[in-house]
A and B are shown apart, each in its own frame.
Chain A
Amino acid sequence: MTLELNQLSDQVQALSATAAERLASLERQRPAAEARLRAIGLADDELQGKVRAALRYRWAGAIPAAEPVDAAFPCPPHPARANVLAADGSQVYPDRHGVALYYLINVGSIAFRHGSGEAPRVASRPAVFYEDADLYEEEGRQKPVEKIDAERDRRELGELARLAAANADAPAVALLDNGLLLYFSLQAQDRAEIKRELAPYLAHLSALRDSGAAVAGIVDRPRAAGVARLLHLHTLPMEALKDHADLFQQDADFRHLTDGALFADRLQPGERSALFENGSPANLDHFQPAGHSVFFFYLNPGPAGRHALLRVEVPEWVAHDPARLDLVHAALVEQCRATGGFPYVLMRAHELAVVTVAERRELEQMVVAALVRRGLSLSVSHKAQGKAWTGAGRRRYP
């Protein structure tokens, strides 16, 4: 073992003390935050005006929708028949120290036909990317991993669109194990590039909408603080927004407060919070103009006695359609009933997508064998070989 754990003992003790203090601090903040949420209730014209003003400064808070922000909605009844679809992806990034340059994306999916009495239909769709166009940017540098992640995310959503078309015989809800905003659109700076990467993703969203399905992105243990930012905005006088620096200062009363901490104890098992629209620039710049503005709510998926909270992101055409919204709500609670806090279908989609270390090694062997058959004699880099030798663990003599 290389890691000298005994040297970390004091630091680990300090870490646990800090974590405990942070938790205690959140507990102290929560009553005041909840009181402020109740005070807002149904957002009035003044708060809506502040939100509009703040958005001009690219404020990434939660925009109140038509429901009182402190509302909680019980779980609607689950339909006797519904198709719950899920997809998840995993990837093997290019390894420039490996025998050949390529990357792999594997998308696992499941169509759970609730009420049919049938075994769910599962699939695992791997693809290897090795052409120059797959691996390199136009200017010649290797494709960044963020673009590989974007490709994986697009394939996940594409798989959901395919499943929705094939499972239209009952109300359908399609689930992603992630937020709906393509992560690349949150990270990249170049608007034209974002648009290019996003176009197929938005096309899949349109296909899902047209199929009649609902779609939702699920985030477990959410760290977002959009609603906490709204609470801060509520306290600022309109005049203060002219000096927009105030907007982005942390509210001293609610330091490190997340939406998850705010809603964790407010919602009873099965209840969802009010809907909010995501005010992030990525949503307003790219998703909203395409008719797919992202809304979200928080959900206590139950069952009773389990502390679980999910952030559920839905496009505007689900948020504004009570039937589709209720289906998302009911299906998530039903799916979490079996597992105790996270949708069963997303667990299965992950299981079908994940590429294990052993499978990755077997893929490497397949590549080596194919190269050898073509008369190519290739090897890993000296650095990779060294890692293989030293990574297996050090032998220690007394």
Chain B
Amino acid sequence: MLNEHIGRLLRSATTGFVFGCQVPEPDVPRFGDFVRAPVQRGRGDVLGLVYDLVVQDDAFVRPLVAAPDLTDEYVLDQRLNRQVPIEVSVLAVGYRAEAGFVQGLPPQPPLTLDVIHLCAPEEVRAFTERLDFLRLIVDSAEAPADELLAVALSRAAEAWPAAEREAFRRRAGRELARLLPRDLPRLERLLRRLRP
């Protein structure tokens, strides 16, 4: 799955992008996943976090919802054959330049129909060597910040070797405490979510 693209870009901005995909695999894409899309004609990649998956409807689907005992053929036709994409929203949190990963917004957004890939564990590990990107999540107006912080950090922890996970969680906790010094109840909730 890592080498296969999981969707194509529908629209984008410097702060994030939306890609479309057909029926999601059980494990891909998920809320909180690290994904990447090419920028600057392939010179780099923007890295982002999935923060919303929206299943679109249309006038044809609505009457089917009320139909009794819909057989598998109708359901599969709507899911697999009809081109009603599932829209996946991504918050940009960094990019890969020639010198390595940068934690911040990319110089350009990806372009229409660019392919989207899931980040490999080693990419997630390399990107989360630093945790400056957490500020972009905390400051995001669109994403559900606390939920995304908790899930994304759990995903990132899974990318680290078992022996290093606890150290990663402690580092993430310290970074959150630095970002939220005046909101102790919120910080406490987040730290509780970080526990394995």
**Besides A120-B81, A351-B82, 12 other CB < 8 A contacts?**
A110-B77, A112-B73, A112-B77, A113-B73, A114-B73, A119-B73, A119-B79, A119-B80, A119-B81, A122-B81, A339-B63, A339-B64
Chain B residues whose C-beta falls within 8 Å of the C-beta of A114 in the assembled complex:
71, 73
User: How far does the alpha carbon of A119 sit from the alpha carbon of B77 in the complex, in Å?
Assistant: 5
B126 located at the interface, meaning its Cβ lies under 8 Å from any Cβ of chain A in the complex: no
User: How far does the alpha carbon of A114 sit from the alpha carbon of B73 in the complex, in Å?
Assistant: 7
Q: A119-B81, A120-B77 are in contact. Are A351 and B70 (CB under 8 A)?
A: no
Interface 1/0 per residue, A97-136 and B, CB below 8 Å:
0000000000000101111111110100000000000000
Top-3 shortest CB links A-B: A119-B76, A338-B67, A119-B80
Question: What is the minimal beta-carbon distance from B73 to any residue of chain A, in angstroms?
Answer: 6
A340 located at the interface, meaning its Cβ lies under 8 Å from any Cβ of chain B in the complex: yes
Q: Which of B72, B74, B79 neighbours the largest number of chain A CB atoms within 10 Å of its CB?
A: B74
Which chain B residue lies CB-closest to A352? Answer: B81
Identify the A interface with B (CB < 8 A): 110, 112-120, 122, 337-340, 344, 347-348, 351
Chain A residues whose C-beta falls within 8 Å of the C-beta of B77 in the assembled complex:
110, 112, 119-120, 122, 348
B185 located at the interface, meaning its Cβ lies under 8 Å from any Cβ of chain A in the complex: no
User: How far does the alpha carbon of A84 sit from the alpha carbon of B18 in the complex, in Å?
Assistant: 37
B74 close to A338 (CB less than 8 A): yes
Chain A residues whose C-beta falls within 8 Å of the C-beta of B72 in the assembled complex:
117-118
Chain A residues whose C-beta falls within 8 Å of the C-beta of B63 in the assembled complex:
338-340
- Would you list 26 pairs from A and B whose C-beta atoms are within 8 A, ordered by A residue? A114-B71, A114-B73, A116-B73, A117-B72, A117-B73, A118-B72, A118-B76, A119-B79, A119-B80, A120-B73, A120-B76, A120-B77, A122-B77, A337-B67, A337-B68, A338-B63, A338-B64, A338-B67, A339-B64, A339-B67, A340-B63, A340-B67, A344-B74, A348-B77, A351-B60, A351-B82
Chain B residues whose C-beta falls within 8 Å of the C-beta of A110 in the assembled complex:
77
Question: What is the minimal beta-carbon distance from B127 to any residue of chain A, in angstroms?
Answer: 38
Question: What is the minimal beta-carbon distance from B165 to any residue of chain A, in angstroms?
Answer: 41
User: How far does the alpha carbon of A338 sit from the alpha carbon of B72 in the complex, in Å?
Assistant: 12
Tell me what chain B mostly uses at the interface: helix, strand, loop, or mixed: helix
Q: A120-B81, A122-B81 are in contact. Are A338 and B70 (CB under 8 A)?
A: yes
Which chain A residue lies CB-closest to B74? Answer: A338
Question: What is the minimal beta-carbon distance from A374 to any residue of chain B, in angstroms?
Answer: 28
B67 close to A118 (CB less than 8 A): no
Which chain A residue lies CB-closest to B64? Answer: A338
Which chain B residue lies CB-closest to A334? Answer: B71
Question: What is the minimal beta-carbon distance from A219 to any residue of chain B, in angstroms?
Answer: 21
Chain B residues whose C-beta falls within 8 Å of the C-beta of A348 in the assembled complex:
77, 81
Q: Which of B49-72 contact A (CB under 8 A)?
A: 60, 63-64, 67-68, 70-72
User: How far does the alpha carbon of A393 sit from the alpha carbon of B73 in the complex, in Å?
Assistant: 44
User: How far does the alpha carbon of A112 sit from the alpha carbon of B76 in the complex, in Å?
Assistant: 11
Chain B residues whose C-beta falls within 8 Å of the C-beta of A347 in the assembled complex:
60
Question: What is the minimal beta-carbon distance from B80 to any residue of chain A, in angstroms?
Answer: 5
Chain A residues whose C-beta falls within 8 Å of the C-beta of B79 in the assembled complex:
119
Question: What is the minimal beta-carbon distance from A339 to any residue of chain B, in angstroms?
Answer: 6
User: How far does the alpha carbon of A288 sit from the alpha carbon of B91 in the complex, in Å?
Assistant: 67
User: How far does the alpha carbon of A347 sit from the alpha carbon of B73 in the complex, in Å?
Assistant: 15
User: How far does the alpha carbon of A295 sit from the alpha carbon of B76 in the complex, in Å?
Assistant: 35
User: How far does the alpha carbon of A111 sit from the alpha carbon of B33 in the complex, in Å?
Assistant: 37
Chain B residues whose C-beta falls within 8 Å of the C-beta of A351 in the assembled complex:
60, 82
Question: What is the minimal beta-carbon distance from A77 to any residue of chain B, in angstroms?
Answer: 15
Which chain A residue lies CB-closest to B71? Answer: A114
Chain A residues whose C-beta falls within 8 Å of the C-beta of B74 in the assembled complex:
338, 344
User: How far does the alpha carbon of A38 sit from the alpha carbon of B80 in the complex, in Å?
Assistant: 49
Chain B residues whose C-beta falls within 8 Å of the C-beta of A344 in the assembled complex:
74
Chain A residues whose C-beta falls within 8 Å of the C-beta of B60 in the assembled complex:
347, 351
Chain B residues whose C-beta falls within 8 Å of the C-beta of A337 in the assembled complex:
67-68
